[in-house]
Amino acid sequence: MHTSPHPLDPLLSRQSSNALEDPAPEGADLDLILDAGLRAPDHGRLRPWRFVLIRGEARLAFSDCLVAAARDRQAPQAQIDRIRAWPLRTPLLIGIGAQIRAGHPIPEIEQMLSAGAAAMNMLNALHMLGYAGMWVTGANTYDPTVNAALGFEAPSRLVGFLAVGTAKAPSPDAAGPAARPDRLAHVVDWSGPLGAS
């Protein structure tokens, strides 16, 4: 039986990839990806999103910044070596942060969630344009020195980095795409307060 493609097929086939190579999006493609981020839900129209593009030679300076922060945190040398290599093997990094308005009627968590929604929109746009990426967090995302280097002073802060490029061809023995989670393991029909007799 023949079934036509479903409009959501591209969305349902998205998965993260950290095995990236050139090319990274640029020009009109990069503009579209950034514009997708700017369509994220935004309670109060605060527009808290800030996207910091780290590419080309700037990746070397950013690698040095990450290494210095990791040393200040007394990270083990093996971790420092991985941190040093990551920006240099990633064609494009996009630091995603929230420019927080403290004391605003819109809670800070909603401002952060808006930045997170922007990151997801951008990951989906990457995939739909034929690129690949991964949302990366970890100690450097939450490090005040790294945040300051990218222009985020508390209470504003990073929510993570998008590592962006083109997916490397999988090796012949690589596992296939990750299976989708079982819907029934994550969804319930609510019929009233839990614990009610």
Instruction: Give the CATH number, domain containing residue 125.
Output: 3.40.109.10
pLDDT at 43: 95
At 173 the pLDDT is 57
Q: What is the pLDDT of residue 79?
A: 96
Query: Would 125 be classed as within a structural domain?
Result: yes
Question: Could you tell me where the DSSP H helices lie in 73-107?
Answer: 77-88
Average pLDDT estimate for 58-73: 98
Which pLDDT score is estimated for 176? 66
26 in a structural domain: yes
- What's the domain range around 145? 17-55+93-169
Pick the more confident residue, 178 or 52.
Answer: 52
Indicate whether 2 belongs to any domain: no
Cα 108 to Cα 103: distance, rounded to the nearest angstrom: 8
User: How many structural domains does the chain have?
Assistant: 1
The enclosing H or E element of 164 equals strand 157-167
Q: Which of 112, 129, 148 is nearest to 34 (CA)?
A: 129
The answer on pLDDT for 185 being more than 80 is yes
Q: What does DSSP say about strands 157-167 and 20-21: parallel, antiparallel, or unpaired?
A: antiparallel
What 54-61 contacts at long range (C-beta under 8 Å, 24+ apart), as own/partner pairs, is 54/87, 54/92, 54/93, 54/94, 54/95, 55/24, 55/91, 55/92, 55/93, 59/87, 59/88, 59/90, 59/93, 60/87, 60/88
- Cα 64 to the chain's mean position, in Å? 21
74 band by pLDDT with thresholds 50, 70 and 90: very high
Pairing of strands 92-98, 132-136: unpaired
Q: Is residue 191 part of a domain?
A: no
pLDDT band at 45 (very low <50, low <70, confident <90, very high): very high
Is residue 65 in some structural domain?
Answer: no
What is the value of pTM for the model shown? 0.91
Residue 111 covered by a domain: yes
